[in-house]
């Protein structure tokens, strides 16, 4: 019973991030560099859970993301499985309540997700691949990291009390 409330708070934060992705994102950030709130939610969950649970969460989120772009079905699942597992594993060396560490961590995870997804889908090559990985992906990762920092500052109390699952 002791852990129920912190877990509920973590679940509430994840739901808020999901709602922000579906409801707020299309309204406020229609462009290509919109923050990925689902990735933030996945990382917040994975870093507070065991690596295996992070991998399973990554697979589920990835498969759902792949459903809306079926020609590269599996690419997002592949990348988010690795990201989810790595995030759960890295919690030994990451302080999830530190704003700067969270920003760097989310930025790196977002960029790595793009690298893995592009490698798995084989969608771009040569110059376009370089532009995507060196310009567009870092810009998207930056906005996602900013969103993660805002979410962390807003829900710091709830996230701090969230247990390692």
CA distance 122 to 116: 10
# of chain residues touching another protein (CB under 8 A): 63
Residue 30 interacts with another protein (CB under 8 A): yes or no? yes
Q: Which stretch binds another protein (CB under 8 A): 6-14, 102-110, 126-134, 147-155?
A: 126-134
HSE, CB side, 13 Å, CA atoms: give it for residue 19. 7
Return the number of other C-beta atoms located less than 10 Å from residue 7's C-beta: 14
Q: Which of 36, 152, 50 is nearest to 91 (CA)?
A: 50
- Does the footprint of another protein cover residue 95 (CB under 8 A)? yes
Chain residues that interact with another protein, rule: CB under 8 A: 19, 22-27, 30, 32, 34, 36, 48, 50-53, 55-56, 58-59, 62-78, 81-82, 85, 88-89, 91-96, 114, 117-118, 120-121, 123-129, 131-132, 164
């Amino acid at each position: 019973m002791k852990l129920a409330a912190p877990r509920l708070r973590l679940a509430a934060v994840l739901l808020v991030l999901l709602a922000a992705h579906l409801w707020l994102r299309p309204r406020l950030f229609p462009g290509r560099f919109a923050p990925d709130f689902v990735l933030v939610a996945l990382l917040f969950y994975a870093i507070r859970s065991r690596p295996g649970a992070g991998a399973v969460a990554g697979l589920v989120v990835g498969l759902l993301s792949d459903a809306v772009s079926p020609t590269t079905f599996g690419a997002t699942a592949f990348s988010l499985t690795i990201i989810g597992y790595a995030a759960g594993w890295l919690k030994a060396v990451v302080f999830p309540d530190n704003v700067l560490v969270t920003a760097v961590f989310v930025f790196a995870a977002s960029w790595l997700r793009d690298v893995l997804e592009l490698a798995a889908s084989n969608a771009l090559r040569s110059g376009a691949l370089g532009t995507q990985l060196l310009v567009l992906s870092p810009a998207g990762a930056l906005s996602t990291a900013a969103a993660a920092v805002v979410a962390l500052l807003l829900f710091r109390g709830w996230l701090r009390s969230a247990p390692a699952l």
